[in-house]
Amino acid sequence: MVQKGVISLGEAFVDFISIDQTNTKYQQLLGGATVNVAVGTKRLGVPAYYLCKLGTDEVSQFVEREFKKEQIDTSFSVRTPSKSICGVYVHLNENGERYFHSYVNLTPDEVLVEDELRRGVFAKAKIFYFGSGTLFHEKARKTTERALIYAKDAGNIIAFDANLRLKRWESEEYCRQTVSSFLKYAHIVKLAEDELQFLTETDSLDAGIDQFSKWQIPYLFITMGSKGACAIFNGNKVFVPAPIVEAIDTTGAGDAFMSALLYSFHEKGLPTKLSLLKEYVQFANKVGAAATTEIGSLSVNMLWQKIID
């Protein structure tokens, strides 16, 4: 059987975006980094599977409808009436600027557990992708460890996006140690420049790359916002500047970059030459930049289609 598709493992979120400065009425949007990547890869034409725990209430039904609209396969996810979807509330200040107001998780222990994983999806897919967003939770961490065993057994390409959210962790050191312990599993690792420096406890890009070499990551990608991104392969570094765009909202740009990378690895395979690796980064930069030109992390469906056309 030919393996096709990308598995994303994580937690679905709903972003509640205030529609005016009274901050009493909200636009409801599907969100979460691993969700963004699942949607991004599917919009680029790659089959996408999403693994998480879902509920049965109105918010969960909204999430299910959005997944269906985006043609994300959630048949390997688990539903339980006791689960409430995490919510992120974004308010408007007096100047009309958005800001993070609160994070609500009424059922923090209702996560996908390791015994609820099904091997079948790993046999179907080509790439397994995960992030650090749930690794602070012991049960979710064990689920990820089991998923990595299944992914390795199935011969999946394994991709890891650090995507650090320090407020979720009990300490910086615990975050650093936990995230670092998962690097050894990955063929592909993506980090923002500040995440690289945090994990390596360095203060420059070159020093961070030097320290990171101890993990022997086959393909390392470091994003640097409007400056572009670089990739490291076999000890060689290639830097690719970002296209110039009029950025409106950078939310989800890193997830769009990751989606494009996974698309390239899925469609063209593991790059064995720096020239091909550079093409992958150029495309990822292009998609990441496109994601900044509209508000919201999942609002660029038609724009992405134009990119790949």
Q: Reduced to 3 DSSP states, what percent helix, strand and coil does the chain have, rounded to the nearest 5? A: 40, 20, 35
Does residue 202 have a pLDDT over 60?
yes
> Cα–Cα distance between 130 and 149 in angstroms, integer?
13
pLDDT more than 90, % of the chain: 72
First to last CA, the chain: 28
Does residue 134 have a pLDDT over 80?
yes
Residues 9 and 35 sit within 8 Å (Cβ to Cβ): no
In which region does residue 289 sit, left (phi positive, over 0), alpha (psi from -120 to 50) or beta (all else)? alpha
Does residue 88 have a pLDDT over 90?
no
Burial group, residue 15, by CB count within 10 angstroms (0-12, 13-18, 19+): buried
Ramachandran angles phi, psi of 172, nearest 5°? -65, -40
Average pLDDT over residues 88-101: 80
How far is C-alpha 17 from the geometric centre of its chain's CA atoms? 20
Average pLDDT over residues 251-278: 93
Average pLDDT over residues 13-39: 88
Does residue 276 have a pLDDT over 70?
yes
Does residue 308 have a pLDDT over 90?
no
Does residue 265 have a pLDDT over 80?
yes
Give which of 265, 7, 262 is closest to 124, Cα–Cα.
7
Average pLDDT over residues 73-83: 97
Q: How many other C-beta atoms are found inside a 10 Å radius of the C-beta of residue 22?
A: 9
Does residue 111 have a pLDDT over 70?
yes
Give which of 119, 114, 133 is closest to 37, Cα–Cα.
133
The pLDDT score that the predictor gives to residue 302 is 44
Indicate the helix (H) or strand (E) that contains 284.
helix 274-290
Mean pLDDT of the chain: 90
The pLDDT score that the predictor gives to residue 298 is 57
> Cα–Cα distance between 248 and 35 in angstroms, integer?
21
Average pLDDT over residues 85-96: 84
Does residue 300 have a pLDDT over 80?
no
- Among 8-12, 19-23, 192-196, name the one with the lowest average pLDDT: 19-23
Q: Under 8 Å CB-to-CB from 133, ≥6 apart: which residues? A: 10, 11, 32, 33, 34, 163, 165, 168
pLDDT winner (highest mean) among 24-33, 250-259, 272-281: 272-281
The pLDDT score that the predictor gives to residue 107 is 93
Average pLDDT over residues 159-176: 92
Strand runs labelled E in 93-173: 98-104, 127-131, 157-161
Where is pLDDT greater, at 100 or 46?
46
Does residue 175 have a pLDDT over 50?
yes
Strands 26-31 and 13-18: antiparallel
The pLDDT score that the predictor gives to residue 123 is 97
The pLDDT score that the predictor gives to residue 81 is 96
Q: pLDDT tens across 209-237, in order?
A: 999 999 999 999 999 988 999 999 998 99
